[in-house]
Amino acid sequence: LGKELSESRHRAAQSKDGVKVSLRANVELPAEAILARDQGADGIGLYRTEFLYIDRSSPPSEDQQFEIFRAVVEALRPKPVTLRTFDIGGDKFVSTFQVPPEMNPMLGLRAVRLALSRPDVFLEHLRAMVRASAYGDVRIMIPMVAGLGELRQVRALLHRAQEQVRARGQACADEIPLGVMIEVPSAAIMVDHFAREAAFLSLGTNDLIQYALAVDRTSRSLAYLASPFDPSILRLITKVIQAGQDFGRPVSLCGAMASDPLAALLLLGLGLRDFSMEAAAIPEIKETLRRITVAEAEAVAAEALACATAEEVECCVAAAFAPDL
Ligand code: PEP
Ligand code: MG
């Protein structure tokens, strides 16, 4: 398998029966963009921009952010790069923003909520992204959206950032697709409305599992409860994929679930065609998806959706797919 994996970057990402899938990379540090390209990623599906705010007492300047975004976009060009607006708060890098201590930070001033509470800092961040859009295929994605109002507010700020960049005579793309992460249960429940108004949807299963099952994602003692195979999670994922199909919007999945081979096959059967994962996992998932036909995966997915517990789903998926892995 080692040789197959090292050669897999040259092969198409597709199922056994030739249905195309897109395998993109999750990136944290800018240097990882090169690794992603070398692993044969179809672009970057999640650039976690909050890492620019690590170990700092104040946010990076617009120019500093722009130079980093531009380098990442140029490294991947012409493949797409999805820049996620900073997901700070919860357990991540709050010191930059002096967020007051919270009793439940995972339910607190995090991600888009923090961004909207600091429009000055957020506009600098958006302008850096807007300027990078002149150098390749840039898309912008919003984390931890819980309601449609947040998407609308960010869209208004994005338009303002574009106007400000143009007014300075700087270049930017005419249209920058603005999508949302579906990682809060309320957004999954209301996903038809998000599919109508957002350019794309991306399932953040790390947080979706945390919030849907009420299990802190950092808790070791509760990790056994945080299963991507929980049928409640599969139902939410199915609803999101369906809404994407109904409204003609791309749906990707960028949680750790995408890089688990059994879960990836199950997701193929649920209708997912666009995965984003740490770059190092791409060759193995590409080889895994090539072993199963969509019809085979769909049959297992239908069985999994009828299960009552995560254990039943795991048994069903393992029994069906393990012989092929
Ligand atoms: C997720 O929640 O699944 C996700 C991809 O985002 P993060 O892990 O950065 O919260
Ligand atoms: Mg998340």
> What ligand is nearest to the CA atom of residue 208?
1
Task: Give the nearest ligand 1 atom to 257 CA.
Answer: 3
pLDDT surpasses 80 at 246: yes
90 CB less than 6 Å from ligand 1?
no
Task: Give me the residue label for tokens 């012989």.
Answer: 323
The residue nearest atom 4 of ligand 1, judged by CA position, is 204
pLDDT surpasses 70 at 88: yes
pLDDT surpasses 90 at 12: no
Q: Which amino acid is at 126?
A: L
136 CB less than 6 Å from ligand 1?
no
pLDDT surpasses 80 at 8: no
| % residues pLDDT > 70 (the chain) | 98
> What ligand is nearest to the CA atom of residue 50?
1
Q: Ligand 1 mean position to 323 CA, how many Å?
A: 31
pLDDT surpasses 80 at 91: no
Task: Give the nearest ligand 1 atom to 90 CA.
Answer: 10
Segment 97-106 mean pLDDT: 88
Q: Ligand 2 mean position to 143 CA, how many Å?
A: 6
169: left (phi over 0), alpha (psi -120 to 50) or beta: left
Distance of CA 290 to the CA centre of its chain: 23
pTM for the complete prediction?
0.96
Q: Between 236 and 9, where is the model more confident?
A: 236
Task: Give the nearest ligand 1 atom to 276 CA.
Answer: 5
pLDDT surpasses 90 at 322: no
Q: Write out pLDDT tens, residues 287-319.
A: 999 999 999 999 999 999 999 999 999 999 999
Q: Residues 179, 201: contact at Cβ < 8 Å?
A: yes
Q: Write out pLDDT tens, residues 215-236.
A: 999 999 999 999 999 999 999 9
pLDDT surpasses 90 at 172: yes
Q: Which of 178-182, 235-239, 306-310, 318-322 has the lowest mean pLDDT?
A: 318-322
Exposed/middle/buried for residue 303 (C-beta within 10 Å: 0-12, 13-18, 19+): middle
121 CB less than 6 Å from ligand 1?
no
pLDDT surpasses 80 at 74: yes
